[in-house]
Copies of this chain bind each other. A is one copy, B any other.
Amino acid sequence: MPAGDHAPHSPRTTVRRGAKRATYDPADIHGILADGIVAHVAVVTEDGPLVMPMVYGIAGDTMYLHGALANSLLRAGGDAEVCATVTIVDGLVFAKTSFNHSMNYRSVVVRGRARVVTDEGEHVAALHTITEHIVETWDTTRPPSAAELRATRVIALPLDEVSAKVRTGPAVNEAEDADQPFWTGQVPIVTVFGAPIDNADASAGVPPRVAGLEGRDVHGDTRSS
């Protein structure tokens, strides 16, 4: 997946290490973001950097994030520089020497100024987007109350400065290791949804969309297609 005609978005999102695996193509970036389920979001606190997992959703060129860090960001004054990284590990790569061991993965790094969403319409739309990032359930749940909306902070991050890195395929061994008497290859990692488990207080059957998750690749490219 070469960078092709797509140039880096900014100096601070130009991939420096392993640059041949970099891509700045919006289609690649949006595909990875569609296939991920959690972003690791970093902020700078007075105690140093802090990174925590957050759930997210994508609407156009905006990444909406929800999680424990949203409250920290709000306390910090609303707008703050953040970095959100989404990583999907697709497999282990074994070379003939551990120096060349690797992983197959897809990752996206977003850097920018986060904004706490305060507009009521955007807030509800953002929660809808985050809720349905993996599977559509908004219309098979009770709509949020005003108090619930107030208690659910969402931050918005523009997808203006983004880079992605992708590694696929076999191990790359040194030519001088050709005669080394060792195995080399890959072990894929497959992440799948299991069968739904009913809560004791369920008052209806499993919605078809949720039932349809079973056996599906969590990080497959079905959601991005």
B-side contacts of A3, CB under 8 Å? none
Contacting residues, chain B, for A18 (C-beta < 8 A): 68
For A144, the chain B residues whose CB sits under 8 A away are 97-99
Residue pair B203, A182 in contact (C-beta under 8 Å): yes
Distance of A195 Cα from B138 Cα, bound (Å): 37
The answer to the question of A91 belonging to the interface, with a C-beta cut-off of 8 Å to chain B, is yes
Task: Give the interface SS of chain A, mostly helix, strand, loop or mixed.
Answer: mixed
- Please choose the segment from A23-31, A82-90, A115-123 that sits at the chain B interface, where 4 or more of its residues have CB less than 8 A away: A82-90
Interface size on A, residues (CB 8 A): 97
Q: Is the Cβ of B202 less than 8 Å from the Cβ of A193?
A: no
Q: Which residues of B contact A148 (CB under 8 A)?
A: 97, 99
Interface centre among A50, A82, A151, by most chain B C-beta atoms within 10 angstroms, is: A50
Q: In the complex, what residue of chain B is closest to A45 when comparing beta carbons?
A: B12
What mask results when residues 121 to 139 of chain A are scored 1 for a CB within 8 Å of chain B, else 0?
0000001000100110110
What mask results when residues 61 to 88 of chain A are scored 1 for a CB within 8 Å of chain B, else 0? 0000000100100000000011111010
Q: Separation in Å of the A168 CB from the closest CB of chain B?
A: 12
Asked if B202 and A184 sit within 8 Å, CB to CB, the answer is yes
Q: Are B185 and A194 in contact (CB under 8 A)?
A: no
